[in-house]
Amino acid sequence: MLAQDPNQQIVKLNKGRLLLGIGRPHEALQFLAEVQNAHKTAWRPVAVAYLAAKQPQKALQILLPLWPSADTVVDRIRIGELLLEAYTALGQTEPAEAIACTLESNYPDDAEAAAIAAEWRASQPQQTERALSLLYGAVAKAADDRQRDRINLLLADFFYQNHRFAEAADVYRSPASSNHPVITKR
């Protein structure tokens, strides 16, 4: 289809997403950079591709104008998640801290926002207790079993990475019924 009409923006967007999905971010950027302004949802794969291609500054250029005025709460939370990744890659903790605080304060009842802030805090020195508190809160706020299992896996991984194996095993017990090989191994 792309060969027939190379100007079809949605086809380029989908080809870029596909290339990104199979781990070829540099090739994906060839298509995504062309369509980043042509489609309202292109910001996300473009930013993800820049991050995967180790170009966090370019991801920030895409995300920062969107952050204050995202169309939906979900978009704002996803933009915050990508901003945290970009700032972390650049070693800029102060703006990342501001994003994490905004996610926590603006969306106190959203499990996804809490989990994203918690993941970032878990990677920061001396923030493990706050990360742990946020993860427990996110589990309690989960909208459904699928989200609860995913956040429980984050919590279990947090314990595992911090060599708190007994606590990790307790949390892994719930989603372990899925027979996922990584969970079973841990």
What integer is the mean pLDDT of 144-162? Answer: 92
Q: Which two tokens stand for residue 70?
A: 């995202």
Look at residue 186 and tell me whether its pLDDT is greater than 80: no
Confidence of residue 2 (pLDDT cuts 50, 70, 90): very low
What integer is the mean pLDDT of 179-185? Answer: 58
Look at residue 132 and tell me whether its pLDDT is greater than 70: yes
Look at residue 1 and tell me whether its pLDDT is greater than 80: no
Residue tagged 């989908």 (tokens): 14
User: What pLDDT score was predicted for residue 34?
Assistant: 80
Helices 9-21, 43-52: inter-axial angle, 10-degree rounding:
40
Question: How many other CB atoms are found less than 10 A from the CB of residue 149?
Answer: 18
User: What pLDDT score was predicted for residue 155?
Assistant: 94
Confidence of residue 116 (pLDDT cuts 50, 70, 90): very high
Backbone angles phi, psi at 73, to 5 degrees: -60, -40
Q: pLDDT tens, 166-179?
A: 999 888 887 645 55
* Percentage, residues of the chain above pLDDT 90: 69
User: Strands, E, within the chain: which ranges?
Assistant: none
Record the pTM.
0.84
C-alpha distances out from residue 59 to 8, 40, 53, 88, 96, Å: 24, 16, 10, 12, 14
User: What pLDDT score was predicted for residue 65?
Assistant: 95
Residue type, 128: T
User: What pLDDT score was predicted for residue 126?
Assistant: 93
Write down the mean pLDDT value for the chain. 89
* Percentage, residues of the chain above pLDDT 70: 89
Q: pLDDT tens, 37-87?
A: 767 788 999 999 999 999 999 999 999 999 998 989 999 999 999 999 999
